[in-house]
Amino acid sequence: MAKRKRPVTEELAARPSKRSDILKAARELFLEHGFASTSVDAVVAASGVSKPTVYSHFSSKEALLEAVVRAEAERLDRPIEFRPTGDPVRDLERVAHALTAMALAPETLAWDRMMAGEARRKPDLGRVFFDCGPRRVVAVLAEFFRQLAAGGGIEVPDPEGAAEFFFGMAVGLPLLRAQLTGGPDPRDASPARCREVAARFLRAYAPNRPNHQ
């Protein structure tokens, strides 16, 4: 008697690692070559599965991209926290360095380049990536500034606005330079620049100033 062929759903359940293999291969190829320059055949070769197996998990290359981005959002959705130590100057220097190093990491730059190219076609995915990345970091910064203010180190009537301001000073131009010139300038994450970012922020949000616009 011929052996009954298992339905596709049973086949997928029996080989759960295949989906992970495909996602891992696609993630690496998308980040290295970009979405448009990565073919399904390349994903097949890198993942070690057949093309029918890829399409049994993902209906198209676009669906594969969506799965990769959403998997990355889940991976990034882990606690991050900046804790005040009682020394606002050193705390702000440390946070400025952490933000710059995070933004200029090769993998972060690769993600930003890829998503900048694809967000116009898939704005929903762009929002997912923005929410799990920059928006979440700014929210953590705002909470950090509330804690600094509670200790008297700064005065921040609008912590979210202050967080956007600090993020822009620390990350804005260095990130743009890295994206447009092929890589970061070592000076962008230097201790001297981080001290300057901290000093300028403190001048703007020093306690007991008569006005905080």
Count of all residues that appear for the chain in the document: 213
Q: How confident is the model at residue 183 (pLDDT cuts 50, 70, 90)?
A: confident
pLDDT score at 15: 53
The gap from C-alpha 127 to its chain's centroid, in whole angstroms, comes to 12
- Region 45-55: mean pLDDT is 94
CA gap 84, 154 in Å, rounded: 11
Q: pTM for the whole thing?
A: 0.78
Task: Give pLDDT, residue 207.
Answer: 85
Instruction: Give yes or no for residue 213 having a pLDDT over 50.
Output: no
Selected residue with higher pLDDT from 126 and 13: 126
170: tokens are: 């620390």
Give the residue, 201 or 212, on which the prediction is more confident: 201
pLDDT at 125 over 60: yes
Furthest CA-CA distance within the chain: 89
CA–CA dist 92, 6 (Å, integer): 59
Average pLDDT over the chain reads: 87
Q: How far apart are CA 6 and CA 70, in angstroms?
A: 29
DSSP per-residue string spanning the chain: -PPPPPPHHHHHHH-HHHHHHHHHHHHHHHHHH-STT--HHHHHHHHT--HHHHHHH-SSHHHHHHHHHHHHHHHH-S-------S-HHHHHHHHHHHHHHHHTSHHHHHHHHHHHHHTTT-HHHHHHHHIIIIIHHHHHHHHHHHHHHHTTS---S-HHHHHHHHHHHHHHHHHHHHHHHSS--GGGG-HHHHHHHHHHHHHHS-TT-S---
